[in-house]
Structure 1
């Protein structure tokens, strides 16, 4: 049986995510305080940014980052979701679609206008190139204020099938500071028992960061399995 092409799988999933995003935004026009819709919107943006960074055009991933970063202000309650804000986000969703499915087009100017509109609505200006959101919130300066965390990551075997990308999670942690990554091979079964669709490897991670615990928890915001992530501050 022929294995599906990873890029084609990404495009199919991205199309579904865009439909979810647009549907949630349309509902938010009449229910701007609906937390379920807000979480659905944020999750779609977060997943598009993460998956786009691996499989999508670079300008699409960068644009998705700006959208996620802007919508984070709504999720945190620091900016109201006005009809104007929803309208800009709906146009931005269409721009995401163009960046994905018309990669040869000249979309830079329109993306720039939308980023500027989002910055005006959120009060964030001069954000520059896309970087992990947690890194943008907590600059890597001020080494005298760093903290050390021990993180054990034990995702369930079906994590890959459910759309969780452990490499993207680890990359987001690297955006927070200095990471020492220690794979735990004892969790991998013998070759005869290994199922290629299962995730068997677990990780112990040492993180030195100026960020707080909340920023680390935000990296794993969509890891729903109890006990999959253990975070301990070591000093």
Structure 2
């Protein structure tokens, strides 16, 4: 980077202001060279930051991997089931935290599925209403056309009866649509909110339980965790 700047200064020192004005190609080159130098400096700065960040992430990833192995092993297959059960009874450690969280997730999904079903029902009513509106418009035009053509009264009367039936069905569907949508818009948000709160509560409880499990395991580490920690420590020392 310093060499590039040195080359640029050397070039500029050889060129007087008047000569730069006479040579637009050289002036353009110097401007591009300046932008190029700035880009390189920015890239180097970003590269240094990225390198530092990657080193930090690498260390965090190792820590996370070791922690996850500890937690997963404990949750799925407790290191000492009898001791863990004893601790659960005395200190309230929830061994079945996965099932507990899963139950709330299942409850939440049922509410979501129900909302989706309700939306489908609403769409069905709306589609039926649109169909009824089309039917009403059809018979309105037909009756109007028959009257303009002075068709027989019985033919006009038959279509007017169909028109009245279509209007009646449309009004009924309008009422159903308004009632249903009002109920849906009133209930669905509160149901979803309640289910979401339950889910967040379950996640919080799940997290607390995992922390308790991890704490218990660290206080009473089984042999396989000690092996991992020793291996991790030796790898860290080698890297240093």
Instruction: Kindly indicate which of the two structures has a greater share of residues assigned to strand.
Output: 1
TM over 0.5: no
Higher alpha-carbon Rg: 2
Instruction: Kindly indicate which of the two structures has a greater share of residues assigned to helix.
Output: 2
TM-score (norm 2): 0.20
Which one has more relative contact order, counting CA pairs under 8 Å at least 6 apart? 2
